Amino acid sequence: MLKHIQLFLKGMAMGAADVVPGVSGGTIAFITGIYERLIGAISSINKHTLMMLFRGQFRQLWTAIDGTFLAILFAGIFTSILTLASVLTFTLDHYPILTWSFFFGLVAASVWMMGRTVKQWNAQAVVAFVFGTMIAYAITEMNATAGSEAPWYLILSGALAICAMILPGISGSFILLLLGAYSTVLAAVANRELLTIAYVGIGAVLGLLLFSKGLKYIFERFYNPTIALLSGFLLGSLNKLWPWKETLETFIKHAGTEKEEIVALSVRNLAPEGDWPTAVVFALFGAVLVLGLEYAGKKMK
């Protein structure tokens, strides 16, 4: 029972990270020691396990897909998303500098933690690390789009976002932001708009099943460069999390309606200003939290 509670809490930590653009739930899974088990469990859902479902072999199916693990973990993730969506929306609206500082510290510490799991920093690992940093940085420099609320677009957004969410260093929420679907999804979760959530969920399930198999294959055969690449993803993503920004271009979504919203299409980083010492404290708190999560993850194994 204690292990189940601990797993549920890890799921809640992943869910909280997935809500914020720039932070990946996959990062939390990695530093708490459940990442490879998660990828293995998801990738085990295939035609053979589906045949077990159709044959009514429910017990064998549950064992084959590590059902208890997935059920408890995703229960924690969804509980966190449903309960924290409105809270994080409030903090990002009213305390943006401190909120982004906290997550900047969290991810910065994760770079070091993931990097030290690379078994050998050879030329291949270094190249993968640099390449991952460049890719993640380039993604964070992309301008957001206006997006769409059409069902097909929400399904596509869900599929792309979930692929990013299970990669440490690539934020699914930021992918939604780039696609112009982040505010739509966040509002749907906060307001319990079930149809919108269902469309995104369908895309997420499809993306998860397809992407996890390839990721498991890569991990099994290219573990060292893959971890270096993911470490680079984390480093490059810090560009998105820098707390001090200036909006350069905006778009008015749903103009003239009750849902009218100003969406930032492009921003640039600024030098620290204002009460930056407090921001540093919040960043350090985020870093310490990562160290605590890693320590707890080792104890919970």
pLDDT value of residue 278: 92
CA proximity to 257, closest of 144, 149, 113: 149
3-state secondary structure of 117: coil
User: For the segment 46-62, what is each residue's pLDDT rounded down to a tens digit?
Assistant: 778 878 888 888 888 89
Q: State residue 157 phi and psi, 5-degree precision.
A: -60, -40
Query: Residue written as tokens 């939290």?
Result: 289
Band the pLDDT of 146: cuts 50, 70, 90: low
Dump the DSSP string for 19-63: HSTT--HHHHHHHTT-HHHHHHHHHT-SHHHHHHHHTT-HHHHHH
pLDDT value of residue 124: 92
pLDDT value of residue 137: 87
pLDDT value of residue 273: 84
Q: Where are the alpha helices (DSSP H) in the chain?
A: 2-19, 25-31, 35-43, 47-54, 58-64, 67-94, 96-115, 123-140, 151-165, 172-178, 182-191, 194-221, 223-241, 276-300
Band the pLDDT of 262: cuts 50, 70, 90: low
* CB neighbour list of residue 301: distance below 8 Å, 6 or more residues apart: 33
From the CA atom positions of the chain, what is the Rg in Å? 19
Q: Is the pLDDT score of 252 beyond 80?
A: no
Question: How many Å apart are CA 181 and CA 200, to the nearest integer?
Answer: 10
Which residue segment(s) compose the domain that 226 sits in? 2-300
- Of the given ranges (20-34, 155-169, 244-258, 271-285), which has the lowest mean pLDDT? 244-258
What is the pTM assigned to this prediction? 0.73
pLDDT value of residue 265: 63
Comparing 2 with 159, which gets the higher pLDDT?
159
pLDDT value of residue 281: 94
Query: Residue written as tokens 């890890």?
Result: 10
Residue range 22-50: mean pLDDT, rounded: 81
User: For the segment 100-141, what is each residue's pLDDT rounded down to a tens digit?
Assistant: 898 888 888 888 888 888 888 899 999 999 998 998 888 778
User: For the segment 159-210, what is each residue's pLDDT rounded down to a tens digit?
Assistant: 888 887 777 767 777 777 777 777 778 778 777 788 888 888 898 888 887 7
Averaged pLDDT score across all residues of the chain: 81
- Percentage of the chain beyond pLDDT 90 is 12
Neighbours of 21 (CB within 10 A): 23
Task: Say how many domains are in the chain.
Answer: 1
pLDDT value of residue 130: 95
Q: Is the pLDDT score of 256 beyond 60?
A: no
Report CA dihedral (172, 177, 180, 181) to the nearest 10 degrees.
50
Question: How many Å apart are CA 141 and CA 155, to the nearest integer?
Answer: 24
State the burial class of residue 152 (Cβ atoms within 10 Å of its Cβ: 0-12, 13-18, 19+): exposed
pLDDT value of residue 94: 86
User: For the segment 223-239, what is each residue's pLDDT rounded down to a tens digit?
Assistant: 889 889 988 988 888 88
Q: Angle between the 67-94 and 35-43 helix axes, to the nearest 10 degrees? A: 120
